[in-house]
């Protein structure tokens, strides 16, 4: 029997409810969150599944890492733009092959500025950095078009075949038929009264 990584008996609050699920080693689970002010809920769930927040009846047995969007502080972007090489040096395991994967895109090199990266390669940069160090991941597909989403999902799928596991936040039901499990958030009637609180990484993180 495969190892249990996350055991969730359901999550519910005034805004939404999420069905129970068990995530095993080597599996991918998709969570359909929709595309309407759902980012705070995604962060709430991410905090639980990465072990940063405790929730009753939800047990996380292995570390999970969120693949965040690569944000650049305004002052750095204007005065001292961060380069791809600088980002990888700080956020990846340079001895792992994933630390070099972004350079397979022929126009990207170590001196390419992060601010020049559009959505697809910017998310790939973050994904490759995390995969160079971590086995189990949580990700969304913010800033990516359909082609970029499918490419990222294929990379993740190859890793799950090797024994990694992943949680995918899906806003368009893109991965409904390709994940090992697929569940949907049930939004409650009083959601209209909910005011989302958005979070962005601290500037010093870059």
Rounded to whole angstroms, how far apart are CA atoms 89 and 26? 28
- Whether 70 is in a domain gets the answer yes
- Whether 51 is in a domain gets the answer yes
- Whether 109 is in a domain gets the answer yes
- Whether 201 is in a domain gets the answer no
By CB atoms closer than 10 A (0-12, 13-18, 19+), residue 119 is middle
Rounded to whole angstroms, how far apart are CA atoms 144 and 150? 9
Contact status, residue 102 vs residue 125, Cβ threshold 8 Å? yes
Average pLDDT per block of 10 residues along the chain, 206 residues long? 92 91 98 81 92 92 95 88 97 97 97 96 98 97 94 96 96 94 88 51 40
**pLDDT of res. 1:** 62
Rounded to whole angstroms, how far apart are CA atoms 56 and 10? 9
- Compute how many other C-beta atoms are within 10 angstroms of the C-beta atom of residue 2: 12
Contact status, residue 87 vs residue 38, Cβ threshold 8 Å? no
Tokens of 140: 């969304």
- Whether 169 is in a domain gets the answer yes
**pLDDT of res. 2:** 82
- Whether 206 is in a domain gets the answer no
Tokens of 67: 């693949």
- Compute how many other C-beta atoms are within 10 angstroms of the C-beta atom of residue 130: 21
- Whether 203 is in a domain gets the answer no
Contact status, residue 137 vs residue 166, Cβ threshold 8 Å? yes
Domain carrying residue 35:
4-196
By CB atoms closer than 10 A (0-12, 13-18, 19+), residue 105 is middle
Rounded to whole angstroms, how far apart are CA atoms 28 and 159? 10
**pLDDT of res. 200:** 38
Residue from 153, 155, 154, 158 nearest 168 by CA: 153
Q: What is the CATH number of the domain that holds 78?
A: 3.40.50.300
In the chain, the number of structural domains is 1
Tell how far CA 178 is from the center of its chain. 17
């Amino acid at each position: 029997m495969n190892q249990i990584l996350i055991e969730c008996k359901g999550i519910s609050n005034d805004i939404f409810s999420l069905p129970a699920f068990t995530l095993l080693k080597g599996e991918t689970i998709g969570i359909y969150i929709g595309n309407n002010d759902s980012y705070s809920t995604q962060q709430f769930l991410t905090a639980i599944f990465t072990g940063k927040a405790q929730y009753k009846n939800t047990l996380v047995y292995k570390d999970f890492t969120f693949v965040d969007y690569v944000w650049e502080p305004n002052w750095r972007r204007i005065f001292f733009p961060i380069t791809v090489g600088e980002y990888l040096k700080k956020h990846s395991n340079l001895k792992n092959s994933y630390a070099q994967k972004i350079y397979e895109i022929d126009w990207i090199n170590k001196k390419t500025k992060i601010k020049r990266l559009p959505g697809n390669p910017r998310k790939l940069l973050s994904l490759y950095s995390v995969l160079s160090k971590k086995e189990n991941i949580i990700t969304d597909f913010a800033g990516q078009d359909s082609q970029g989403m499918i490419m990222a999902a294929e990379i993740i799928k190859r890793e799950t075949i090797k024994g990694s596991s992943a949680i995918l936040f899906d806003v368009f039901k893109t991965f409904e038929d390709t994940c090992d499990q697929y569940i949907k958030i049930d939004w409650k009637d009083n959601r209209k009264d909910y005011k989302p609180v958005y979070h962005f990484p601290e500037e010093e993180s870059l």
